[in-house]
Amino acid sequence: MEYISLDKIRNPYPLDKQKKGGVLSQTYGRAQDGRIINQDESPIVGEFPSPPTRGITAVPGTSFKFILEIDGTRYTSPEFASYLNSAQAENNPYFNESTVATIRLSSSQLSNPPRKYSAGLKYAETTIQGSSKLYSGDPLSIVKYIDSLAQPSKGLGNVELVDVKELGSWKTSITNYDAVNDSGMGVDYTTAVELEKKEGQNK
């Protein structure tokens, strides 16, 4: 996402009353005093909101282009913060805290996920032994990890973003498949996994 200034959007502000090709290029715009008005300068019912940019921490070394809110505290990258500030300075009703993407997370849920996928673990024949080490109690650790996930792919092939050991620890106990009884290798839990997935979709 890149910031497009008001003079580059399809309906540029402030209001331009000049006819182009015999017709007015706009039906409404913003007057010098900030009001949204029609071509005849009558006010438009219902102002476009343009809330102030405040309380957002720009995290150095990041470049993600959205707002990340953790436990009520909001973060973004320095570049995206500059976009928000530029939009605020222009009084841009199309680009502000209300219109850009905001992802909300809870540190308690990151540490203790509210949903357990017990059937999925049995199907994968895996036992979880330790949770992710990425969240150390400092929300900036999560901000920087999510920033790494938001980076554009460079070249072909898979790129390991973090050491897999940082994602937690687990133990696998792979069994042999019994074709006669159609059991083993987790197939016993196929139905339970599908039910667990549907339950998750309905929440």
Q: Are 93 and 49 in contact (CB under 8 A)?
A: yes
- Three-point CA angle 70, 73, 77, nearest 5°: 85
Cβ pair 97, 55 in contact under 8 A? no
Tokens of 165: 């050991």
The phi, psi pair for 178, rounded to 5°, reads -105, 105
> pTM here?
0.60
For 74-101, the pLDDT digits (tens) are 999 999 999 998 888 877 777 888 888 9
Q: What percent of the chain has pLDDT over 70?
A: 64
Chain length of the chain: 203
Q: Give the pLDDT confidence score for residue 46 in this predicted structure.
A: 47
Of 26-35, 39-48, 90-99, which has the strongest mean pLDDT? 90-99
Average pLDDT, rounded, for the chain:
75
Structural contact between residues 107 and 70, judged by C-beta atoms closer than 8 angstroms: yes
> What confidence category does residue 15 fall into, taking pLDDT thresholds of 50, 70 and 90?
low
* Count of Cβ atoms closer than 10 Å to residue 96 Cβ: 18
Q: What is the mean pLDDT of the segment spanning 15-26? A: 51
What pLDDT shows up at residue 33?
Answer: 54
Question: What is the residue type of 124?
Answer: A
Statement: residue 54 has pLDDT above 80: no
User: Would you say residue 34 has pLDDT above 60?
Assistant: no
Looking at mean pLDDT, say which of 3-17, 57-71, 112-126 comes out highest. Answer: 57-71
pLDDT for 27 beyond 60:
no
3-state SS, one letter per residue, for the chain: CCCCCHHHCCCCCCCCCCEECCEECCCEEECCCCCEEECCCCECCCCCCCCCCCCEEECCCCCCCCEEEECCEEEECHHHHHHHHHHHHHCCCCCCCCCCCEEEECHHHHHCCCCCCHHHHHHCCEEEEECCCCCCCCHHHHHHHHHHHCCCCCCCCCCCCCCHHHHCEEEECCCCCECCCCECCCHHHHHHHHHHHHHHHCC
User: Does the pLDDT at position 42 exceed 60?
Assistant: no
